[in-house]
Amino acid sequence: MKKTLLASVIILALAATPTVFAKGKPTAELGNNLSFATIFIPGTAGAPTLRLPLVSVLTAPSPPECTQFPGYYCQKTEATWQAEWKTATTASVAAAWGANLLGDAPLKAGKPIRVEMGLTESGGVLPGVGYVVVKLTPELDDRLATYGTSGSMQSTSFAVWDASAELLVQKCADPDCINTTVIPITSGSVSAEINSLGKVVYGFNWGTGGKAGAAEPGTYRLTFTTTNTSIASTNGQVCGPQCTYVIIEVTQSGGGSGPPNRP
């Protein structure tokens, strides 16, 4: 009888204090809020997920505020806000390759390379309205840093998402890249995301699966093409009214873990 009573007491104690013995499952990470006014062409089907998909007008931040940064609303939390957005059938754009692909920093073999492209409406009559998002913590890796907005508004040109954009990455068969090898590194549709600042950008993470898939030393040609938009200007090279490319040099890594090749 005493053993039965003792067992019952232990069971009740365990039921009353479950967090002492086991940790709860982490909640799913929420996405970033759209902070730059954006044009989706021809629509939002297949586009990066909007936190407020049924709202296309400027929407002020809603609670909760950041726990460690009162007065700010943080990305990837339950707080929501949204820049204005619209759909269109076509647009003229400026195409901007990520700074890491333009010689600002050496690209090392064996390490992940972030291939990034941003499209911005060129020649638009009216600016779009969104929210200023700032980096609130000092981490060098943006994926680990905290970003948020105080609700300050900004007027900028519209960012553009073209549903039919494609990326081709080829290794060059010679230093001048007159010829390329037969099998491309990647070819076809390129995905996009809403980044930490709240802007829609295209991205390809090259070599994140390990050294076997990472770039080897050599010369590479990266080509970005659109279907529904025309490229009016670019910080790369022009290869047609809907085509831009850059040629990059990947050098031998000095060894060690080191940071990835990011913008």
- What is the pLDDT, as a whole number, of residue 261? 56
- What is the pLDDT, as a whole number, of residue 123? 87
What are the residue boundaries of the structural domains of the chain, listed by start? 27-251
- What is the pLDDT, as a whole number, of residue 5? 39
- What is the pLDDT, as a whole number, of residue 124? 82
- What is the pLDDT, as a whole number, of residue 101? 96
Parallel, antiparallel, or unpaired: how do β-strands 128-131 and 153-156 relate? antiparallel
- What is the pLDDT, as a whole number, of residue 64? 96
- Rounded mean pLDDT for each run of 10 residues along the chain, 263 residues in total: 39 36 44 98 97 97 96 97 98 97 86 96 91 92 88 97 98 93 95 97 90 88 97 97 97 62 59
Rounded (10°) CA dihedral 169, 171, 172, 173? -150
pTM of the model: 0.84
